[in-house]
Amino acid sequence: MTGCSSANARPTITVYNWGDYIDESVLQDFEKKYDIKVVYDTYATNEDMYVKLKSGGGDYDVVIPSDYMIKRMITENMLQKLNTANIPNLSYIEKRFRGLPYDPGDEYSVPYMWGTVGIIYNKKMVSDTVDSWKILWNKKYSKQILMQDSQRDCIGITLKMLGYSMNTRKTEELDAAKKALIEQKPLVLAYVVDEVKDKMIAGEAALAVVWSGDGIYMERENPDLQYVIPKEGTNEWVDAMVIPSTSKHQKEAEMFINYMCEPDIAFKNADYIGYASPHSEVMKMLDPKLVNDRSAYPTEDDLKNSEFFEYLGDYVKVYDKMWTEIKAE
């Protein structure tokens, strides 16, 4: 890839995103409107994307990672500061998504989609009120509970249940969480990844820990299912658009990010993906039933005890060891 556009060559930007995480027609619309070619690549996890970028293997202009990964990339000088003058549509991003912990100055990222982690349960199979993480430790639902096969999600919600921070580094707190998860193991049907959706829809389990986006989808597919955010609080996550420092097309990348924040474009994406959008106009354009559904769009009050995952740096080894011990027990 050579430098920026010359008089006759059409500039090209490369966008790197999660799989199936965009309405593809917006790419073609962007190409037509701005005469900039868009090359689109996908990745499966933040870590895969990080390895590619870190080793210099990717020449990407716009990437859409998750919050903790953005924090890591900022710390390691992998991102460029945005020239917000080129992104006027930033004003559409709701105030509560500005100045988030991973990018306090809003200097490097623009939120794209957001969500939470919560419990989805089958109303026909669960007789108790579901408003606390503690229900996942209730012996009445033995072998009907599905947990995420994800280290930070499992340990995180356990810490929340015990009243601690999900980013804690205090050994007593982590030991308590470890003990709780090992106690829970006999009650867990399985530790799953995306199989959780099909299993819950098919009624194979009563309770599961899922992301809000999946929760909305599951509620639609099976009306017996209900997604809730427990009162102890949960993980709030945001995926945001960033520009790697290796990009040679900053201006075009910023045009793309600005374009993605146009109300009708942001709406197209939110509608296709089905996750919650941080865009104020989109919330007005969506089906009011969806926007008022506190599973999809929890209020700030619902989220008062919630936290973002922090990038743990080297401390993640402690969490790794803990998770290995829990799984091996």
Partner 1 sequence: MVGLKLLKRSYTFIIFFFLYAPIAVLIVFSFNDSKSRGNWAGFTTKWYSQLFHDQQILKSLYYTIAIALISSVFATVIGTAAAIGIHNMKRLMRKVVMNLTYLPVVNADIVTGISLMLLFIFIRIKLGFLSLLLAHITFNLPYVILSVLPKLRQLDRNVYEAALDLGATPLYAYFKVILPELMPGVITGLLLAFTLSLDDFVISFFTTGSGVTNLSITIYSMARRGINPQINALSTIMFVTVLVLLILVNYRMSRDARVTRDRKEKNKNAQDYLLQKA
* Contact positions vs partner 1 (CB under 8 A): 1, 14, 18-21, 24, 39-45, 48, 51-52, 55-59, 193-194, 197-203, 214, 217, 221-222, 273
Q: Nearer Cβ to partner 1, position 136 or 273?
A: 273
238 near 111, Cβ under 8 Å?
Answer: yes
Long-range contacts for 301-306 (Cβ within 8 Å, ≥24 apart)?
A: 302/229, 303/116, 303/229, 303/233, 303/234, 303/236, 304/233, 305/160, 305/231, 305/232, 305/233, 305/234, 306/116, 306/229, 306/233, 306/234, 306/235, 306/236
From the CB of 317, what's the least distance to partner 1, in Å? 20
From the CB of 40, what's the least distance to partner 1, in Å? 6
From the CB of 194, what's the least distance to partner 1, in Å? 5
Distance CA 120, CA 173 (A): 26
**What are φ and ψ of residue 180, in 5° steps?**
-65, -40
Q: Nearer Cβ to partner 1, position 53 or 135?
A: 53
Q: Nearer Cβ to partner 1, position 18 or 164?
A: 18
From the CB of 1, what's the least distance to partner 1, in Å? 7
Q: Nearer Cβ to partner 1, position 57 or 186?
A: 57
100 near 108, Cβ under 8 Å?
Answer: no
From the CB of 43, what's the least distance to partner 1, in Å? 6
From the CB of 42, what's the least distance to partner 1, in Å? 4
61 near 256, Cβ under 8 Å?
Answer: yes
From the CB of 99, what's the least distance to partner 1, in Å? 26
Q: Nearer Cβ to partner 1, position 155 or 200?
A: 200
The b-or-e profile of 131-162 (16+ CB within 10 A means b, else e) is ebbebbbbeebeebbbbbebbbbbbbbbbbbb
Q: Nearer Cβ to partner 1, position 6 or 55?
A: 55
From the CB of 2, what's the least distance to partner 1, in Å? 11
Q: Nearer Cβ to partner 1, position 15 or 87?
A: 15
Helices 263-273 and 250-260 cross at an angle (nearest 10°) of 70
CA angle, residues 160, 112, 154, in degrees to nearest 5: 25
Q: Nearer Cβ to partner 1, position 7 or 193?
A: 193
Q: CA 5, 6, 7, 9 torsion: positive or negative?
A: negative
